[in-house]
Amino acid sequence: MYIQKFMRIVHIAAEFAPIAKTGGLGEVIVGLCRELTKQPENQVEVIIPRYDHIELAKLPNTRMEIPDFKCIGYSNTMWNSTVEGCNLHLLEPRHPSGYFHRGRIYGCEDDLTRFIYFSRAALEYLKEKNEPIDILHLHDWHVSLCAPMLKDLFKEIKVSSLVLSIHNLEYQGKCAPVDLDAIGLDGQSYLTADKLQDDHPSFPTSINLLKGGITYSDAVVPVSPSYAQEILTPKFGFNLDATLRKCRSKITGILNGIDETLWDPSHDPHLKVPYCQSSVLRGKIEVQKEFQLKPTGPWVGAVTRLVPQKGPELIEEALQKTIEMGGSFLLLGSSPFPTIQAHFNQLKQKYQNHPQVFLEYNYNEPLAHKIYAALDYLIVPSHFEPCGLTQLIGMLYGALPIVHATGGLKDTVFDCENSQIPIHKRNGFTFSEPTKSAMNDTLKRAFRLFSAEASTFHSLVRRGMESDFSWKNPTKQYLKLYRKLIKLKSKTGQNNPKSDDPSLCKHPLNIMPNNCRK
């Protein structure tokens, strides 16, 4: 019988929290990798770009791992560090375009070129290392090109199975075939329906990087079970639904966890008065004082990117409705869309010095923690939501979620007034359509509960705070998937020379008899 014990798992991604984070992606990579790392039989590594804002000198155990390795003729340096308990490789291209010397992670005109280069350079590094990999785990469009490159161009890298996680299908990485030529591929040869040709009927000459990841990977993991179903439909499939339906047998939805060491109100360095379930009321009052608002009702708010996906028009509506009903509204968010940002700037002017409103538009981790702690209700009116972390964080901080029931929100928030849901699962409020009227009706229900049924409200708050949203369960599911893939490959013998070949056992753990793989 085949028993896989030791596993070398390599993640390639654009983000890793807290040193390179713009949203959920970075948090998910660190949470999953840290949990995987806890099991000694897993050798876990993560490769991310070395962005210029990352101060290597401040990271623990930093060393220059490879001073110079080439990618399409350009030099690169690989740094290695232990961050948040994870073995992190930071890839620094010495390319004249200064790809990761931009003072930001995304939002450059040449984002596609930057991440296409990074994808190839990451594989050049793995080739140079020449150590067998059991699972190569890619995340989102940024590194999806690794999948076709691995199969077509880097056959010598010994990878048993390739996994792609889809954190958000909306972002696909569309480019021209010449962009692939630029890193030594024959772009035109990938422009076919069964390879990387974009599925949108208007863009037949475009390459779609995420499609490449989906097509060439052995398993595709959307970040919640409901989202895994939704993306098979034209409504949520962003024109990739047909491709996804074709390979539905390799799709498994796995809900994200959250890093409970980062998100713990009882040990939160950003809170002057940390609190737990028994002191939640006092803890909230203390942090609310810092905002100097004077509501007569509950504190409602959101911590979010202000992009169309997140329903900015509904967030504005929630703000107005909350004020009208006597609550206070806190919003931390910013928008990469100038028109949306301009609109929210106007709102800030309009509500300047308003005793019920606090609006802040930047990326501010400490403030995010304070806002979660201050809120009674966290609103997430997203039109679609692959998983969503803020509703989970909100619950751990004693804020009941009010959400549009879609994707991961549907999988984690269960309406407290829906008699068809078992009582022990009810933990917030949901609305089934992302419309102003549906959301407002739900807000009204939430306000009613807060003022008229305080004991029910508080028992729901406690239930949320007691929830286990840790990475333990999701990691078990990922490990189950990894093992299934490896077992399948070992049976079909399809994989490249495998790391369970004793002659390929390079890692010290592999040398130990009990850790050999059969």
Nearer to ligand ADP, 180 or 332 (CB): 332
Closest C-alpha among 19, 26, 146 to residue 90: 19
Task: Pick the binder of ligand ADP from 160, 390, 496, 510 (CB under 6 A).
Answer: 390
Task: Pick the binder of ligand ADP from 97, 113, 279, 334 (CB under 6 A).
Answer: 334
Determine the interface stretch with ligand ADP among 179-187, 196-204, 272-280, 386-394 (rule: CB under 6 A): 386-394
**From the CB of 21, what's the least distance to ligand ADP, in Å?**
7
- Bridge partner residues of 138 (DSSP): 12, 164
Q: How far apart (Å, rounded) are the C-alpha atoms in residues 145 and 127?
A: 16
- Nearest residue relative to ligand ADP (C-beta): 24
Q: Is 332 in the site for ligand ADP (CB under 6 A)?
A: yes
**From the CB of 3, what's the least distance to ligand ADP, in Å?**
35
Q: Is 165 in the site for ligand ADP (CB under 6 A)?
A: no
Determine the interface stretch with ligand ADP among 103-111, 125-133, 314-322, 331-339 (rule: CB under 6 A): 331-339
Residue 188: CB atoms within 10 A of its CB come to 13
Nearer to ligand ADP, 212 or 333 (CB): 333
Q: How far apart (Å, rounded) are the C-alpha atoms in residues 147 and 251?
A: 16
Q: Is 5 in the site for ligand ADP (CB under 6 A)?
A: no
Nearer to ligand ADP, 115 or 457 (CB): 115
- Spell out the residues 6+ positions from residue 494 whose beta carbon is closer than 8 angstroms to its own: none
Nearer to ligand ADP, 108 or 367 (CB): 367
Pairing mode, if any, of strands 133-139 and 174-175? unpaired
Supply angle C-alpha 212, 214, 220, rounded to 5.
155
**E strands within 154-309?**
159-166, 174-175, 207-208, 219-222, 299-305
Q: How far apart (Å, rounded) are the C-alpha atoms in residues 246 and 244?
A: 5
Determine the interface stretch with ligand ADP among 18-26, 60-68, 130-138, 242-250 (rule: CB under 6 A): 18-26
Nearer to ligand ADP, 49 or 394 (CB): 394
- Spell out the residues 6+ positions from residue 351 whose beta carbon is closer than 8 angstroms to its own: 319, 357, 359
Q: Is 14 in the site for ligand ADP (CB under 6 A)?
A: no
**From the CB of 260, what's the least distance to ligand ADP, in Å?**
13
**From the CB of 257, what's the least distance to ligand ADP, in Å?**
12
Q: Is 389 in the site for ligand ADP (CB under 6 A)?
A: yes
Q: Is 365 in the site for ligand ADP (CB under 6 A)?
A: yes
Task: Report in angstroms the alpha-carbon separations of 413 from 148, 243, 401, 475.
Answer: 37, 30, 7, 21
Interhelix angle 312-324/436-452, nearest 10 degrees: 40
Positive or negative CA dihedral for 182, 188, 192, 198? positive
Report the site for ligand ADP in 287-316 (rule: CB under 6 A).
303-305
Per the listing, tokens 């992302």 go with 434
Q: Is 500 in the site for ligand ADP (CB under 6 A)?
A: no
Count residues contacting ligand ADP (CB under 6 A)? 18
Nearer to ligand ADP, 43 or 390 (CB): 390
Q: Is 368 in the site for ligand ADP (CB under 6 A)?
A: yes
Determine the interface stretch with ligand ADP among 151-159, 318-326, 358-366, 483-491 (rule: CB under 6 A): 358-366
Q: Is 388 in the site for ligand ADP (CB under 6 A)?
A: yes
Q: How far apart (Å, rounded) are the C-alpha atoms in residues 446 and 457?
A: 9
Q: How far apart (Å, rounded) are the C-alpha atoms in residues 51 and 55?
A: 9
**From the CB of 105, what's the least distance to ligand ADP, in Å?**
12
Nearer to ligand ADP, 93 or 311 (CB): 311
Nearer to ligand ADP, 28 or 180 (CB): 28
Task: Pick the binder of ligand ADP from 363, 433, 448, 462 (CB under 6 A).
Answer: 363
Report the site for ligand ADP in 23-82 (rule: CB under 6 A).
23-25, 27
**From the CB of 312, what's the least distance to ligand ADP, in Å?**
13
- Bridge partner residues of 243 (DSSP): none
198-221 burial code (b ≥16 CB/10 A, e <16): bbeeeeeebbbbbbbbbbbbbbbb
Q: How far apart (Å, rounded) are the C-alpha atoms in residues 313 and 273?
A: 34
Task: Pick the binder of ligand ADP from 333, 401, 428, 464 (CB under 6 A).
Answer: 333
Closest C-alpha among 162, 171, 206, 211 to residue 10: 162
Determine the interface stretch with ligand ADP among 81-89, 281-289, 332-340, 452-460 (rule: CB under 6 A): 332-340
**From the CB of 344, what's the least distance to ligand ADP, in Å?**
12
Determine the interface stretch with ligand ADP among 189-197, 202-210, 227-235, 383-391 (rule: CB under 6 A): 383-391
**From the CB of 513, what's the least distance to ligand ADP, in Å?**
43
Q: How far apart (Å, rounded) are the C-alpha atoms in residues 284 and 290?
A: 10
Q: Which helix (H) or strand (E) holds 205?
A: none
**From the CB of 138, what's the least distance to ligand ADP, in Å?**
17
Q: Is 140 in the site for ligand ADP (CB under 6 A)?
A: no
**From the CB of 332, what's the least distance to ligand ADP, in Å?**
5
**E strands within 13-149?**
42-49, 63-71, 74-83, 86-93, 133-139
DSSP string, 447-473: HHHHHH-HHHHHHHHHHHHH---SSHH
Closest C-alpha among 227, 148, 229, 190 to residue 408: 227
- Contact positions vs ligand ADP (CB under 6 A): 23-25, 27, 303-305, 332-334, 363-365, 368, 387-390
